[in-house]
Structure 1
Amino acid sequence: MEFLLYKVHGSMNTFFMLEGEEREDYEEMTLKLAALDPGIDGLLVVLPSQVADAKMRVINRDGSEASMCGNGLRCVARYVCERDGVEEAVIETMKASLHVKKEQPQGDGIAMYAVEISPVSFQMADLPMAYGGETEWKLKPLPFVSEEIPFTAVAVPNPHLIGIVPDEYQSNPAHQQKWAEFFNGPNEYFTDGVNVSYATKVEGGIFVKTFERGVGFTNACGTAMTASALVSCLAGLVPYGEVAVYNPGGMVKCSVEKNGSSFRLRLTGNATYLAKQQFKWEGTSSESGLELAEELQEQALYEKFIEQTSAVTNRFVS
């Protein structure tokens, strides 16, 4: 069986994307694709939906499934909007149906999309997280990890542990890697693992580095960037409203609106097509493989865009 794949990225969080029907072997397919192309973070599957314009499934490169992916959702938003000839749509995800919208192109024509990030919960049970019999964990150190880092646990709906850290933790990722690997292995605190992000105040916004569950360190994680913007607003690092979030893959804008005890979150950034190619899928046999890619010439525009962020990101990214 052959599938048409698009290789896409949001903030250099890179995926293969295909449109298809529900199948039981997308996890195995993703493992094969990750072996064929170590540069991808997973597979985006665009499916029919009974309640929205389309449904998105996100399979991480290790074969696990994520409930949401903000960077991937922007790419799916572009695909669905261009397929249907519309500028707004609703995409069904595992936990919610989310509004997406085409935005004005950036720079010399970079496709930009805004996507809703929802639902938001600070209940530890929704991650799930267990520690000290608490129900929420907001802006407090986890003493066994560090006495100086305030952590916040939040589900959006992917589970996130966000630490507010000084520059040195960004320049040397050893501390973050140690605890992220611990929390994503057998442990008593996060039985399903967790995305671990370190956020730092920078001029004009925040810088975020994420160790993504099922992936490892990634150029960007959309829900992590949005959750980090929310936590940074709670901590008073930046004001509520639009937050510029820099990351190893570039920069996005996260909108954080507070209404009483509830929050409305939106993520805006690029949806870039890198290539398209045919994928012959014959299960786990050696017959499965990728044909030569047809490059789509959009990456050069994105690289011009991220040159503008280098003054911030080069402080932390070698």
Structure 2
Amino acid sequence: MQMHFVKMEGCGNDYIYVDQEKEQIVNPQTLARKISDRHFGVGADGMILICPSDMADCRMEMYNADGSRGKMCGNGVRCVAKYLYDYKKIRKEEIAVETDSGIHTVRILEDSGKATVAMGTPVIEEEPHVISMEGQKTEMMIVSMGNPHAVIFMEPEEGSWKTWNMKKAEAVSTHSDFPDGINVELVQVYSETGMKIRVWERGSKETLSCGSGACAAAAAAIRSGRTKQKVNIEMPGGMMEVEWDSDGQMYLTGGCRFVCEGEYPGSVG
């Protein structure tokens, strides 16, 4: 039995999107692992199901590349809205997407190929979290964007962001202090309006970008006085903009693009 899919990416954060009104997925965890495999599947950071919703224009179910369920994905929710806009012809000013972390509204910026999503209000732990690894202490800020993030600010002597050893981020992500795992952002602030980050996502390993990770990093930088309320975030997959508005809401803006579509020949059960 074949299954129709669409592959989309937001700043290099790519997912396989499946319309649940057309396809019935029995075991999404298994399918996510198979279809996300970059050698034996289509290849992606995970799979997102677009489902009917009684509360919004649709409901988004997110599965990481290892099959685990994710609560929220800032890049994914923007791509879901883009799918509704282009495929379903829902041409509303704001498209509402239900997620496991609540309803998020997305505005499609048609002329630029970008979309802006209201990501909610970050929840930041008041005190820095410190863990010991191999005799060294690592300090981080814990931020929730509907999913958990550990934000680590890198010192200038730690070199260019392209040379960072991501094993450190992986070790933090799977540390015993975080029994359910945690997303990790390594952050280099280079001005009061700009930063570079790399992300290790629980369930997907390092990704080219992460929308909720960008917001978590911005929230930590703004709260600690490192940047202004609006900041440009450069990731390996591209540039995004995050603004922490006076109403407490964070807004994430970035590209969302179709890559391809096709028929997946494997079992969808």
Q: Give the TM bin, normalised by the shorter chain.
A: 0.7 to 0.9
Q: Percent identical across equivalent pairs?
A: 26
Q: Equivalent residue for 1:278?
A: 263
Once the two structures are TM-superposed, the CA of residue 173 in structure 1 deviates from its matched residue by: 2.3
The match for 1:164 among 117, 129, 153 is: 153
- 1:194 corresponds to 2:196: no
Contact 2:195 2:234 in 1 (8 A): yes
CA distance in 2, matches of 1:19, 1:99: 19
What are the Cα deviations for residues 171-215 of structure 1, in whole angstroms up to 9, with x where unaligned?
4322x423x333443x43101000010111124411111011111
CA distance in 2, matches of 1:86, 1:258: 25
CA distance in 2, matches of 1:274, 1:51: 29
What are the Cα deviations for residues 202-257 of structure 1, in whole angstroms up to 9, with x where unaligned?
244111110111111110011000111111111212111x2111000010011112
> Could you state the TM-score of these two structures normalised by the residue count of structure 1?
0.75
Once the two structures are TM-superposed, the CA of residue 141 in structure 1 deviates from its matched residue by: 6.1
- 1:10 corresponds to 2:1: no
Residue identity in the other structure for 2:12: M
- 1:225 corresponds to 2:214: yes
> Could you state the TM-score of these two structures normalised by the residue count of structure 2?
0.88
Q: Equivalent residue for 1:43?
A: 47
Q: How many residue pairs end up in the alignment? A: 258
Contact 1:184 1:192 in 2 (8 A): no
Structure number having the greater helix percentage = 1
Partner SS, residue 32 of structure 2: helix
Q: Point out the more displaced range, 266-275 or 82-91.
A: 82-91
Moved over 6 A (4+): none
Contact 1:119 1:157 in 2 (8 A): no
CA distance in 1, matches of 2:173, 2:218: 23
Structure number having the greater strand percentage = 2
- 1:98 corresponds to 2:98: no
Question: Quick check: which has more Rg, 1 or 2?
Answer: 1
CA distance in 2, matches of 1:275, 1:254: 28
Once the two structures are TM-superposed, the CA of residue 15 in structure 1 deviates from its matched residue by: 1.1
Once the two structures are TM-superposed, the CA of residue 38 in structure 1 deviates from its matched residue by: 6.8
Contact 2:123 2:145 in 1 (8 A): yes
Contact 2:188 2:195 in 1 (8 A): yes
Partner SS, residue 144 of structure 1: strand
Q: Equivalent residue for 1:112?
A: 114
Higher RCO, 1 vs 2 (CA within 8 Å, ≥6 residues apart): 2
**CA 1:182 to 1:137, structure 2 compared with 1: closer, same or farther past 3 Å?**
farther
Contact 1:43 1:59 in 2 (8 A): yes
Within-5 A mapping of 1:146-161: 150-161=139-150
